[in-house]
A and B are shown apart, each in its own frame.
Chain A
Amino acid sequence: MTRSVIELTVTAEDRRVAWLATAAVGLSLVDAAIPSPLPGVKPGLANIVTLVVLTRYGWGTAVWVSALRVLAGSLLLGFFLAPGFFLSLTGTTLSLLTLGLARHLPGRWFGPVSLSILAAFAHIGGQLLLARVWLIPHDGVFLLTPIFAAAALVFGTINGLIAAKLLAEPAPSDTPNV
């Protein structure tokens, strides 16, 4: 009998992504526990992690962390492959693309707060478009746009400030001891 051993080498980068994704998933759960007056209006606390990762480790790591967050978060909250999953995925994809462009803004002038607000708008924009095209094929969906946009501005600013605060502190040692 042959024993086949598939060895996966885990790099420090993998460990870091896993830890950061865990933090993001944790915040997603907190997010889901906060009561919301309207479905779709959520603080989006996990985006704080995305912003910190983007600034510290680059866009590629941010994509990994976000993708894992959407996947694991939806599994834990029980909406994997449900409409909410696709809304989440679309929003995240668009905000990552926006962040990919926005991070090239001159850092002296535009900080995490700008990135956070732009990402929040991209997020809600993507979700509204998907909802219009797929879930509720009627322009009535857009009646909620001003509310969502205002929420994006408020929560985007708050999350950006928290991310800026975290980034102002010195970087922690790479990963906790595993």
Chain B
Amino acid sequence: MSWLALIRPGDWLIMLLSAAAVGASIPVFWQGGLADRAIIRQEGKVFAEVDLKARKQYEVSGPLGTTLIAVEPGRARVVSDPSPRQYCVKQGWLMRPGEIAICAPNRVSVQIAGRTKVYDSISY
């Protein structure tokens, strides 16, 4: 007997509904997942809050020079920075809420924010 014959009509329905529920659960639970905004800080103060919708570049000046930040739909990164070790540039694209690239020597940072506030770590 074939395995397919063991599945009754309602079973297909349940399977479809479940698959839909699993699909729907992804954005709900990984909403962190949908990056909404990028927060660019200069000297610890908010320089700009950008919606991650359009393609745009920002030039932020710090004590060492200019940090170039690129924003694209759903992601952002530091393109260039005068810092000696280039940590924030090497981090590449940031796309999950909570991710942050800090160019400490030039006192500039980019952080991704979602609908809810996400923590790096919590201790208790």
A contacts, CB < 8 Å to B: 105-106, 108-114, 117-118, 121, 138, 142-143, 145-146, 149-150, 152-153, 156-157, 160-161, 164-165, 168
Contact assessment for B10 and A109 in the assembled complex, using a CB-CB cutoff below 8 Å: yes
B contacts, CB < 8 Å to A: 1, 3, 6-11, 14-15, 18-19, 21-22, 25-26, 29-30, 32, 122
Contact assessment for B1 and A143 in the assembled complex, using a CB-CB cutoff below 8 Å: no
Q: In the complex, A153→B115 CA distance in Å? A: 28
Contact assessment for A153 and B9 in the assembled complex, using a CB-CB cutoff below 8 Å: no
Task: Name the 8 nearest CB pairs between A and B, nearest first.
Answer: A109-B10, A110-B10, A164-B6, A113-B11, A111-B8, A114-B14, A145-B29, A149-B22
Contact assessment for B11 and A160 in the assembled complex, using a CB-CB cutoff below 8 Å: yes
- Knowing A143-B29, A153-B18, the reply to whether A165 touches B8 (Cβ < 8 A) is no
Contact assessment for B3 and A111 in the assembled complex, using a CB-CB cutoff below 8 Å: no
Contact assessment for B15 and A146 in the assembled complex, using a CB-CB cutoff below 8 Å: no
Contact assessment for B6 and A113 in the assembled complex, using a CB-CB cutoff below 8 Å: yes
Contact assessment for B15 and A113 in the assembled complex, using a CB-CB cutoff below 8 Å: yes
Smallest CB-CB separation from A150: which chain B residue?
B22
Contact assessment for A161 and B8 in the assembled complex, using a CB-CB cutoff below 8 Å: no
Which A residues touch B6, using CB under 8 A? Answer: 111-113, 161, 164-165, 168
Most buried by A among B9, B19, B22, B32: B22
Q: In the complex, A92→B122 CA distance in Å? A: 31
Q: In the complex, A109→B9 CA distance in Å? A: 5
Contact assessment for A146 and B3 in the assembled complex, using a CB-CB cutoff below 8 Å: no
Which A residues touch B3, using CB under 8 A? Answer: 161, 165
Q: In the complex, A142→B31 CA distance in Å? A: 11
Q: In the complex, A171→B11 CA distance in Å? A: 23
17 more contacts with CB within 8 A, not counting A109-B10, A149-B22, are: A110-B8, A110-B14, A111-B8, A111-B10, A111-B11, A112-B6, A113-B7, A113-B11, A114-B14, A117-B18, A145-B29, A149-B21, A153-B22, A156-B18, A160-B11, A165-B3, A165-B6
